[in-house]
Amino acid sequence: MSKPSVIIKKYPDRRLYDASASRYVKLEDIARMIREGIDVQVLDARTGKDVTYVILTQIVVEDARERETALPLQLLRQLVRASDEATHDFLSWYLNSTLDVYQKAQESVRTRLSEAKSVVSSPLEFMRNLVAGHAWPPGAETTEVETLRRRVGELEARLAEKKKPGRKARRKKKPVG
């Protein structure tokens, strides 16, 4: 499922217009949309040029003015120093990678919390499944246990085959010499 997308037009008088909602918006509105997972693109109304990066930078700056906790000073210095394209590209890649890892970790925590809540909300069901040897949450595959059971069965069958009467056991020949 793709993210919802909104195009905002920026006019020369610095006003921002959301054509899909037929209304003027402020930087706070754009920040809220982005936090809600909406993919926002801002275009200069006169030239059609993409100015999203400028608007997002303005949002970060306004956020820093309002709060004591802004971006770390060392990171800001590195951003200013990243004037050449190679440094800028590397820093962009690094920040994107780091944020992706962070978002995946957050999603994993949310999933684990959801599983924990289901265990807490139905402890009797959890105990029944645990005592019965079922996996939790219900429907979880226990492929490792199944594989081990199959292997033990194969080994037992091989042992039984070797113990059958009338079957001569093979002896290793001793080396001559």
Tally of domains within the chain: 3
In a domain, 40, yes or no: yes
In a domain, 59, yes or no: yes
Distance between CA 62 and CA 104 in Å, rounded? Answer: 28
pLDDT, residue 158, reads 85
In a domain, 168, yes or no: no
Side by side, the strands of the sheet bearing 16-18 are: 23-25, 16-18, 5-10, 39-44
Question: Residues 77, 116: one domain?
Answer: yes
pTM above 0.75, yes or no: no
DSSP string across 54-123: HHHHHHHHHHHHH-S--S-HHHHHHHHHTTSHHHHHHHHHHHHHHHHHHHHHHHHHHHHHHHHHHHHH-H
Question: Residues 58, 83: one domain?
Answer: no
Binning pLDDT at 50, 70 and 90, where does residue 29 land? Answer: very high
How does pLDDT run across 54-86, given as a tens digit for each residue? 999 888 888 877 776 667 778 777 777 777 777
Question: Residues 2, 31: one domain?
Answer: yes
Please choose, from the candidates 170, 3, 84, 11, the residue with its C-alpha nearest in 3D space to the C-alpha of residue 92.
Answer: 84
In a domain, 46, yes or no: yes
In a domain, 154, yes or no: yes
Question: Residues 75, 42: one domain?
Answer: no
Distance between CA 126 and CA 118 in Å, rounded? Answer: 9
In a domain, 148, yes or no: yes
* Residue-range definition of the domain harbouring residue 152: 122-163
Question: Residues 89, 27: one domain?
Answer: no
Question: Residues 4, 55: one domain?
Answer: yes
Of 13-17, 98-102, 172-176, highest mean pLDDT: 13-17
In a domain, 175, yes or no: no
Stated as kind and residue range, the H or E segment containing 146 is: helix 143-163
Question: Residues 89, 110: one domain?
Answer: yes
Question: Residues 58, 76: one domain?
Answer: no
Question: Residues 107, 134: one domain?
Answer: no
In a domain, 4, yes or no: yes
Question: Residues 110, 132: one domain?
Answer: no
How does pLDDT run across 113-125, given as a tens digit for each residue? 877 777 676 767 7
Question: Residues 130, 109: one domain?
Answer: no
